[in-house]
Each structure stands twice: as C-alpha cells, then as structure tokens.
Amino acid sequence: MLDTPRFHHLHLNSVDPRAAIEFYVRQFPVTSATTWGDSPALATPNDVLILFNQVTHQPPVAPDTAIWHFGWHVTDSRARLQSYRERQDPPLLPLYTGDGGGSVLISSDTWPGAGGTLGRTLAEIAEAKATGVQPRRTGGFAYLRGPDGAIVEYAGNYPAERFNHVHMWQDEPLCAQLWYQRHLQAALVPNAPQIADEA
C-alpha cells in the first residue's frame, strides 16, 4: 500500500490569474504569489497551492461544475467579516436563515444547528424562538465571492489560518467518498462506512 496522499492543489480557471492572485492575497494575507511549473499560483501556509489557468471567458460556476466552494480557516471569522465590511471588499454572500426570507452574513448570527446539523427546519426554528435559543455570536462560517465566480467559505475560530477543504456537489456523496478511498487511499470522514475487502 502507498502512503495516504496529501492534497496538493486546487486548479481554477481565471480570465486574469494575476488579478485573482492579488485578490486572494488581500483577503488572506498569509498567502503569497508564486508559480508551480508554468502555472501562476497562490501559496498557502499548509503547502496547498491554488493554481490558475488563464481562459478567455469567465468559467461556468453552476450547474456545470463539480466544485461548490473551497474552504479557508481563519483565527477569528467574525473579526475577518468586520474587516471585509469596513473595506467593502470582497463581495459577501448571504446565508439564508429560513425565517421569512431573512439572511445573515455569518452563521453565528442565527440560531445554532439542531441535532448535529448546520441548520434548522421550520419546526426547529419555531422551537428555537419558543425556547429563547440565541445565536452564539462567536466563530461561525461565512462566504465571499472571489474572482471568476469562485466561492470561498471562511470559518473560525481556528489556531492558524490555512487552506482547509474543497466542497463538491455529488449525486451520491457516500459513493464519491468510497471512490476516493479506493482509488486514492484517501481517509474517510469519521463515522463513514469503510469499503469491504473484495475477495
């Protein structure tokens, strides 16, 4: 068996790779511009690269892509949100609360999830109101729109700022996880079933 692979890079299409890299360095100051092979790239603190491929038209973002967003850990997500608000850059994306069309810019400004989920059903929202459940107003996750329509989730509060994940759309999420485990020896998330050995 080979060693479990590590995540090396995310490759994005961009109409202006240099401007995209400058954007990400502004939003995430622990990153820096670099190159890898012939590709302009963004270096991150945990040695994950974001590579950029120049294209002539903005790439499609939905529904023709498998990638939903990529994730970034920050040491204080609420402080980061405040800094983005003060600069009015980057574009911030709403999280819809399910309560009469309401939205927030960070998850910790609405009711915490119930039963191990990130959100609440309408019945759980009604229960939260009736029992006085309050937003945590610490940590949480939020979204911003990057160049070329890319979406970035930043979340805190974590010990260090770094690249965290790629979130993909899948018709069969468990089957996709099993494929990555079988073919790339990637570790499954905790509590996910393991692939049985084939005789």
CATH number of the domain residue 134 falls in: 3.10.180.10
Looking at the domain assignment, is residue 60 inside a domain? yes
Looking at the domain assignment, is residue 192 inside a domain? no
Looking at the domain assignment, is residue 153 inside a domain? yes
H helix intervals, 16-58: 17-27
What's the number of domains the chain is made of? Answer: 1
* Sign of the Cα pseudo-torsion (111, 112, 115, 120, in order): positive
Extract the residue ranges of the chain whose pLDDT is less than 70. 1-2, 189, 191-199
For 82, the token pair is 């405040």
Looking at the domain assignment, is residue 47 inside a domain? yes
Helix, strand or coil for residue 41?
Answer: strand
Q: Cβ-count burial of 90 within 10 angstroms (0-12 exposed, 13-18 middle, 19+ buried)?
A: middle
CA distances from residue 86 to 39, 68, 80, 91, 141 in whole angstroms, order as listed = 33, 27, 10, 12, 18
- Cα 103 to the center of its chain, rounded Å: 19
**Beta-carbon neighbour count of residue 139 at 10 Å?**
16
Looking at the domain assignment, is residue 126 inside a domain? yes
For 87, the token pair is 């600069």
Looking at the domain assignment, is residue 199 inside a domain? no
Looking at the domain assignment, is residue 45 inside a domain? yes
**Beta-carbon neighbour count of residue 74 at 10 Å?**
24
| pTM (global) more than 0.75 | yes
Say what the pLDDT of residue 41 is: 98
Pick from 141, 146, 151, 154: which is nearest to 95 by CA?
Answer: 141
The residue range of the domain holding 76 is: 9-184
- Cα 142 to the center of its chain, rounded Å: 9
Looking at the domain assignment, is residue 160 inside a domain? yes
Say what the pLDDT of residue 188 is: 72
Tracing tokens 């980057």 back to the chain, one arrives at 90
